[in-house]
Structure 1
């Protein structure tokens, strides 16, 4: 019975599904780990939860302005800028 399940799911047609689900699980795991370790509003330990609401604006600003956001702020919001420039700008 286990052999038939392996033969059913391990076919080349199913590989894109595995890649897509794997990428989604990876993105979710990254987001969860980032929020648990770096979000100032998430407190995992009992001692931190007992502190109540903190006025830690600098820590929140540091969490919000991460390196990817800083990098993308300088870029134009285009998916293919070279092709867009080729078709929109005259010679």
Structure 2
């Protein structure tokens, strides 16, 4: 019965769905634990609007954003420069 539903052709689909679910789970946990606008604690919810700007800046400037900040917005810079500057590539 299992061989009828689980075939080698669907392994990439399982992998893609697993990665997507992992990314969604990571973002959910990150928002619940570190987002300054999300309040799971009842006492913190009762406080109303919290103006903690340092916490908001810390949440917005995460490690990936700091890593990408000064980099070129290209996926494959060597290929882009090869096709955009053909005289320099030769």
Fold similarity call, TM over 0.5: yes
User: Which structure 1 residue ranges, 5 or more long, are not aligned?
Assistant: none
Which of the pair has the greater relative contact order for Cα pairs under 8 Å at 6+ separation? 1
d(CA) in 1 for partners of 2:14, 2:23: 14
Query: Could you tell me the TM-score, scaled by structure 1's length?
Result: 0.89
Alignment-derived partner of residue 81 in structure 1: 77
Tell me the CA shift for residue 19 of structure 1: 0.5
* Structure 2 residues without counterparts, runs of 5 or longer: none
2:19 to 23, 33, 54: 23
Give runs of ≥4 in structure 1 deviating > 6 Å.
none
Tell me what 1:67 maps to.
63
CA distance in 2, matches of 1:8, 1:21: 20
Alpha carbon RMSD of aligned pairs, Å? 1.0
